[in-house]
Amino acid sequence: MMDVDFEPEDSDFEDEPAPKGIGIVQRCTGKSTRLCGDEEIPAVVQSILPEGYTYHACRIDNFSQNDEVSFSAIIRLNLRSHQDFNKWLENFQESSSTTWRVKRTFPSTGLKVVFKKAYRCHHNTRPGKGSTNAGRRVASKNTNCSADMIVSIKKAVYEGRTLSRSKDTHLPQYPAELLLNYRHNHQITCADALKFRDVSEETKEVLISLFKRKYGPTQAVEMIKYDLQLRHGANYHMKAADRAVCPDVQFAHR
Ligand SMILES: [Zn+2]
Ligand SMILES: [Zn+2]
């Protein structure tokens, strides 16, 4: 049986297209269906996946302990386009309280794969840059986290008809394949990690609507905090520390 390599690659090539068919992705997209164990997704893993999608796990190695979710998996899901994936990723960042950055883009591979991209946890900033930033925000955020994921979306229909000769038995139901290495080396839901998250689109819209109603930045943030307090009660302190739903006043100034 062939091992799927989840080792992170050197991440010093952010946004640079990689040569076609490089290492890990080529091996996984080609062979993973043969490895399909049709495994049950543990509840702890399901708890961080966005709802409203159909998931199928070819393989899951679950390392979760208590509340700390940790696993690596080959997951198939019903996403058909780049747009579908972006929406899923936005939801995933919400449901898992994690933030992902593009690690590598791949040239469009055309006939069989319509979209492929690699992402890394944002607690891994580029190597070599943190050292000169001692004491600054960037330095404390970087934990060299090796969590990463690679998504490939396969074409389910080719020239108007189903790819009947495809060896991929997960088509046409699950065009997207996600190699998810969800093994963070830091806490995810502690207030320290949440404060680095991006302010979510939803929160941005609330801010904008408050500005239209003549709220200043400080007042607007106070309003959002007040609303969070009403909605989350005992969980308020966790929510208020999460920059995605509770922006800082500096952000509101932008
Ligand atoms: Zn499978
Ligand atoms: Zn991480």
> Could you report the per-residue pLDDT of 99-138, keeping only the tens digit for each?
999 999 998 767 788 899 999 999 887 654 444 444 444 4
Q: What is the pLDDT of residues 168-183, one digit of tens each?
A: 889 889 999 999 999 9
Residues 228 and 61: their CA atoms lie apart, in Å, by 36
ipTM > 0.95 (yes/no): yes
pLDDT at 157: 67
| Ligand approaching nearest to the C-alpha of 37 | 1
The pair of structure tokens assigned to 111 is: 């006939």
Residues 109 and 151: their CA atoms lie apart, in Å, by 13
Kindly give the distance from the C-alpha atom of residue 62 to the centroid of ligand 1, in angstroms, as a whole number: 16
- Ion ligand 2 residue ranges (Cβ < 5 Å): 121, 123, 145, 147, 184
Cα of 239 vs its chain's centroid, Å: 20
Contact partners, residue 100, CB within 8 Å, separation at least 6: 89, 92, 93, 119, 120, 121, 122, 149
Kindly give the distance from the C-alpha atom of residue 7 to the centroid of ligand 2, in angstroms, as a whole number: 14
Question: Which residues of the chain, if any, have pLDDT below 50?
Answer: 1-33, 128-139
Kindly give the distance from the C-alpha atom of residue 144 to the centroid of ligand 2, in angstroms, as a whole number: 8
Kindly give the distance from the C-alpha atom of residue 108 to the centroid of ligand 2, in angstroms, as a whole number: 27
| 8 Å CB contact between 212 and 92 | no
Residues 125 and 12: their CA atoms lie apart, in Å, by 9
Kindly give the distance from the C-alpha atom of residue 183 to the centroid of ligand 2, in angstroms, as a whole number: 7
Residues 1 and 225: their CA atoms lie apart, in Å, by 52
pLDDT at 188: 82
Cα of 147 vs its chain's centroid, Å: 10
Kindly give the distance from the C-alpha atom of residue 204 to the centroid of ligand 1, in angstroms, as a whole number: 38
| Ligand approaching nearest to the C-alpha of 41 | 1
